[in-house]
Amino acid sequence: MSELHYLSATELAHLIRSRQVSAVEVVQACLARIDEVNPRVNAIVTLVAEQAMAAAKAADAREPDGPLHGLPVAHKDLVDTAGIRTTYGSPLFAGNVPGQDDLIVQRLRAAGAITIGKTNTPEFGTGSHTVNEVFGATRNPYDLSKSAGGSSGGAAAALATGMVPLADGSDMGGSLRNPASFCNVVGLRPTPGRVPVVSDANAWYTLSVLGPMARTVEDVTLMFGAIAGFDRRSPYAIKEIFAPEPEEGVAGLRIAWSPDLGGLPVDPRTAAVTATAPAVFERLGARVEQVELDLSDAEDAFRTYRAWNYVLSFGSLDGLGPNTAWNVEQGRKVTGADLARAEQARSRLYQRMAAFFDTYDVLITVVSQVPPFPVEDPHVSEINGERLPDYLAWMRSAYWISVLHAPAASVPAGFTPDGLPVGVQIVGRPFDDARVLRVARAFEQATQYGLRRPPL
């Protein structure tokens, strides 16, 4: 019990429910850990310690009433939290205090979770490196000179250091998966519609999703069960109730392995770590086959829809940061013909991958094309001597997957020789979130990389 803050959410939920520990003790342990390590990593940017303690006392005074009863959770600073500052990582909203919780926050609280604070994100979640003008940069717990990834970098760093057992995040082009890979935790990009997003501006936009992050697959599954579910205010919300697969392990499953998603440049350090994953699955009884993929249609589709969404969401704002402003300007150039071309490309790709998943249960590949990079760098500009055209291009291995309308998880897969975490990406058929989590857990249990704590 001396390291209560590093127990899993599943273990803590059991201990609280059986009255072996109190919610107050768990929240106190997390607050002490935040006080100890957050100044070095800058993951929690708004802390509500008094509110969390009051909620913990209230939780201890009643019978457990939800699967997350008494568990502290941190919310990404992109989701609205009633009465708690929500800046979206932008100076334009530095003093913003919403009057209402977003749906994901409502569901976590209804499941018994206790809000402990907000986690850092780049402005409006723009980019896979967590830095903004309001709070500065979040640093990687495994090497403070490196990036924690993004845009859910604050969430990943908070989990890795034991500040919280659970955190929510969002993902358009890799923002749940990339920071999970960089920080040796687990992140799930669900099938769009599993975790509904309520919006009166872009209700039909399916590239961006909300999802769970934790230190273990079991904890991600626990949290996912609390936040997934139908809501009629989302036009593509999934009515089917999420349930984990009853089977365990991967014996007999057909797994496709792509080391570079069809020729993307991959840093040799990342490639060496992820190349160990196929053998793990083979030892577990799966049939693994290296495949050649052509996901190039995803490039234009992702960039066109992303740009269109940026001008839709932020085009009326003045004073945006350079990354967000660049995306808005790209969006102003999008024409009807561009959208038609992107829709055709995405539709072709979806049908090709539907046929692909008739043969394979899951695809495994890299999460990010590079390991964590220097925190001072705004983005990765070169991989293996190949110059990249802009700050987006180094994350193709994640955002090409976003276009597939498929669930994808990042699970710890090992470390580079200098101790930097690397994840493996597990991609499933659309709506097969439970299968992705089953495969992820089998890999996690076989390798135990997630148990290696940062040297803080």
Closest C-alpha among 178, 184, 137 to residue 40: 137
Q: Is residue 175 part of a domain?
A: yes
Tell me how far apart the alpha carbons of residues 450 and 447 are, in angstroms, rounded to a whole number: 8
One-letter amino acid for residue 301 of the chain:
A
Number of domains in the chain: 1
Instruction: Report yes or no: 189 and 408 within 8 Å, Cβ to Cβ.
Output: yes
**The pairing of beta strand 72-76 with beta strand 166-171:** parallel
Q: Is residue 456 part of a domain?
A: no
At residue 1, the pLDDT reads 47
Identify the domain containing residue 80 by its residue range.
4-451
Gyration radius from the chain CA atoms: 20
Tell me how far apart the alpha carbons of residues 438 and 433 are, in angstroms, rounded to a whole number: 9
E-state strands within 356-401: 362-366, 382-383, 386-387
Three-class SS state of 147:
strand
List average pLDDT for each run of 10 residues in the chain, which is 456 residues long: 87 98 98 98 98 98 96 98 98 98 98 98 97 98 98 98 98 98 99 97 96 98 98 97 95 98 97 98 98 96 98 97 96 98 98 98 98 97 96 96 98 98 98 98 98 95
Q: What angle do CA 64, 67, 70 make, to 5 degrees?
A: 55
Sign of the Cα torsion 41, 159, 61, 80 reads: positive
Q: Is residue 183 part of a domain?
A: yes
Q: What angle do CA 47, 49, 55 make, to 5 degrees?
A: 125
Instruction: Report yes or no: 280 and 445 within 8 Å, Cβ to Cβ.
Output: no
Q: Is residue 253 part of a domain?
A: yes
- Exposed, middle or buried by CB within 10 Å (0-12, 13-18, 19+), for 322? exposed
CATH of the domain at 265: 3.90.1300.10
Its pTM stands at: 0.98
Query: How many residues in the chain?
Result: 456
User: Which residues are catalytic, by number?
Assistant: 76, 151, 175
- Whether the upstream peptide bond of residue 151 has omega within 30° of 0, thus cis, is yes
Q: Is residue 292 part of a domain?
A: yes
Burial per residue of 75-92, b for 16 or more beta-carbon CB atoms within 10 angstroms, e otherwise? bbbbbbbeebbbbbbbeb
Task: Look up tokens 């994640």; give the residue.
Answer: 398
Q: Is residue 405 part of a domain?
A: yes
Q: Is residue 195 part of a domain?
A: yes
At residue 2, the pLDDT reads 55
Instruction: Report yes or no: 370 and 265 within 8 Å, Cβ to Cβ.
Output: no
